[in-house]
Amino acid sequence: MSKVIVVTGAGRGLGTDIAREALVAGHRVVATGRRPEEVEKTLGGPQDNLLVTRLDVTSLDDAQAAAQAAVDRFGRIDVLINNAGNLFTGYFEEISPAQMRQQFETNLFGPMNVTRAVLPIMRKQRAGHVITITSTAGLVGMEFTSAYAASKFAEEGWMESLRYDVEPYNIHTTVVEPGYFRTELLVDGSTTWPELSIDDYAPRTAPRIAGMKSMNGQQPGDPAKLARALLTIADQDKPLQRFVAGADAIEAAQDKARELLAQAEASRELGGNLAHDDAHA
């Protein structure tokens, strides 16, 4: 059944693949980006089932205008795919406070803005689905990604809790945790390198940057296949609440689950008997 699907960050990378695959599947697509003329060109020009509209996710006004434009054109919004994001790299001390705030503005408050604009429409419909793309870095902390991982961990917590807020209105939520996909995340414009430089970190920083740049275009994941998988989830009557995307991501999630279980068990002797003596189990 045809759905109205809003895709953020549709001008490049995975967002373009999602919008393109959704159009091929017969859905009506609201493709958003900071430069709508480039989004439209990337998707092949004007189409009956395509609405291209400007959206900088850090602007709540933009988000509300995009949501209204979607309703004006197609009458409803069935699926929101929060895809837009960027990557600030670096060791924590070399990431400036301004860069850390920018990372959160785009990766956390950005999807919050768009979701805040869309949820009233979905509640009125008593139907909808919010899909938010986080990262394996939202499950597993990694060297040189403290800002990115922090924003993605926060996004995970927000989405896990949002599920309970909106379930009574027949609105579903899905968190998507991709591994390494051949998108444009590692190109200039999507990735920002450390702003500060500290001598202690210098011998590690340069090879890290070189290594990340060398990965661009070599990632194993196919974003078109991921896009089709997301559309499959959007069509499910009971969508997955968490979709771990890619063999590398699945392995990382399993490793993290085993680590958490081991750490919980190791904490039992010291942490399992900290209640007041008069507290009842």
Q: How confident is the model at residue 1 (pLDDT cuts 50, 70, 90)?
A: confident
Burial 129-159 (b: 16+ CB within 10 A, else e): bbbbbbbbbbbbeeebbbbbbbbbbbbbebb
pLDDT for the residue numbered 26? 98
- Assess whether pLDDT exceeds 70 at residue 187: no
- Assess whether pLDDT exceeds 60 at residue 130: yes
User: How does the average pLDDT of the chain come out, rounded?
Assistant: 92
**Which two structure tokens, joined as six digits, stand for 115?**
């979701």
Cα 1 from Cα 45, distance rounded (Å): 24
Pick the CATH number of 4-272 from 3.90.1150.10, 3.40.350.10, 3.50.50.60, 3.40.50.720: 3.40.50.720
- Taking residues 91-106, report their average pLDDT: 94
Query: Partners of 174 in the beta sheet?
Result: 131
pLDDT for the residue numbered 191? 73
- Assess whether pLDDT exceeds 90 at residue 194: no
Catalytic annotation, pick one of 148, 169, 180, 201: 148
148 has catalytic annotation: yes
Alpha-carbon dihedral of residues 33, 106, 155, 168, nearest 10 degrees?
-50
Closest C-alpha to 219, from 177, 180, 246: 180
pLDDT for the residue numbered 185? 52
Closest C-alpha to 110, from 141, 139, 132, 78: 132
pLDDT for the residue numbered 159? 98
Whole-prediction pTM? 0.92
Considering the chain, what percentage of its residues have pLDDT values greater than 90?
81
